[in-house]
Amino acid sequence: MKRTTTRLADGRELIYYDSADDAPDRDVPDRRPLAPVAAMSEVRRDPLRDELVGYAAHRQSRTYLPPADQCPLCPSRGDRLGEIPAGDYEVAVFENRFPSFGGAAGRCEVVCFTSDHHASFAGLSGERVALVLDAWTDRTRDLAGHPGVQQVYCFENRGAEIGVTLAHPHGQIYGYPYITPVTARALRSVAAHKRATGGANLYDDLLAAERADGRRVVLETERWTAFVPRAARWPYEVHLYPRRRVPDLPALDDAERAGFPGVYLELLRRFDRLFGPDAPPTPYIAGWHQAPVGIGAEARGDFALRLELFTVRRSSDKLKYLAGSESGMGAFVSDVLPEAAADRLREVATR
């Protein structure tokens, strides 16, 4: 892999990732007249929920649903100048111009999976997915040492139903300045389970139980297991675990890394077939849950890396809205049984 680091006109970092060491030079100057980014992020604590809430008022002016010929994530060509100055690229990562967190309080980055505006992650080659995994791993390792970052989350939002404002295939990486509520609750549950069982690991026990039951396992290889969790919140939700417990992406070994592209592409392609050939592309959120940075060696060792993939679509023409119960009280009620979801995800396997 070749890694080329440069700067945009306003000082933000841009990194190109190429699969070949002899890839063309990507260090092209940014010709735009940009002023330095002024991120105005703030974090406040909700005393009743005991949770932190971020505020980023500057994001009100971020780019919103531009036409394809004005996409800021496409390569810069001729007079059309975007966020990526090079005329072509494989994978590119840059600091978000409109970050949710920034400066001394975390960091936000954009990951472009391909220069092809009309592509999708599911349509990438296995080699390109391996390169994306390398980029995620490299950024996780780097951001874990960034001042103020406590947790790194690599994720992709796909589809207007999710709230995506740029159609180009891309994801994001958040370096949170705090441990997120979902992870904080998980850490408490893992610690409680360890105390109650005399040392057993909750993630190991959950994975073993799903594999033994089998009804919700949708895909399994020598290194990876994908299943619909027994208490899934979303209509179609899959958790993908490496069979060996590791805390984060940098801890994956060569065999696990080599096995990931095929498994993940198969899952995404099944998601696109869930609702039949005439249905629009399935919207989804996919994100890597990784151990926080400064929680101590024992707690990090007890954490299990996993990718969670889910869609808000519950049928070809219906969405799962978070209305009164879910949004107001955090009490989920799902329309699709996890076992039925797993059955369907097995039915639409690649033949």
Q: In this structure, what DSSP letter does residue 180 have?
A: -
The angle that helices 181-197 and 202-213 make with each other, rounded to 10 degrees, is 90
Note if 170 is an active site residue: yes
Strands (E), the chain: 2-7, 13-18, 41-46, 51-56, 91-95, 107-112, 151-158, 170-176, 217-220, 224-227, 236-242, 284-289, 306-311, 313-315, 318-319
Residue of 170, 193, 239, 289 with catalytic role: 170
Alpha helix positions (H), 89-230: 126-144, 181-197, 202-213
Are the CB atoms for 322 and 298 separated by under 8 Å?
Answer: no
Which tokens go with 51? 């949770």
Are the CB atoms for 38 and 58 separated by under 8 Å?
Answer: yes
Are the CB atoms for 95 and 118 separated by under 8 Å?
Answer: no
Q: Whole-angstrom Cα distance, residue 189 to residue 50?
A: 16
Indicate the SS3 state at residue 69: helix
Q: Could you write out the DSSP letters of every residue in 292-308?
A: -SSS-HHHHHH---EEE
Q: In this structure, what DSSP letter does residue 324 have?
A: I
Which tokens go with 187? 């850490």
Catalytic residues: 170
